[in-house]
Amino acid sequence: MEINKNQIVNILNRLDDLEIEQQKNKEFFTMVKNRLLELNVCVNGILDIISYEDDTLYKNKMDQYENIKLLFIEELNKHEDKFDDDEWKQLMNQIIGEC
């Protein structure tokens, strides 16, 4: 079977498309991981504040947590249609394991 020039060009174009898509996914995964790390830091702050029983600090930290959580959910919803259930599970397991 002989491969012609058009087939080679098509394959190279497809590889370029896959590389671009992979970069976008990597950026998305990095964003999700960073948001989860921010949420984790916030939760740790909440636990520290609870131990001091300071209601004002607690309310401020809970507001911050809610804002970060909304940003996280918003980003997930933007990209939800790009992944199937198995890919989402794998992504979340990887991110949670790193956190």
- 82-92 pLDDT, tens digit per residue, is 777 777 677 66
**How high does pLDDT run on average in the chain?**
78
d(CA 3, CA 5): 7
- Give the domain ranges of the chain: 24-98
pLDDT of residue 99: 47
User: Which whole number is the average pLDDT over 13-39?
Assistant: 84
96 band by pLDDT with thresholds 50, 70 and 90: low
Which comes out higher in pLDDT, residue 44 or 93? 44
Which parts of the chain fold into alpha helices (H)?
Answer: 5-52, 55-79, 85-98
* Cβ atoms of residues 43 and 59 within 8 Å: no
Question: What does the pLDDT average to over 59-67?
Answer: 82
Q: Work out the average pLDDT over 54-67.
A: 81
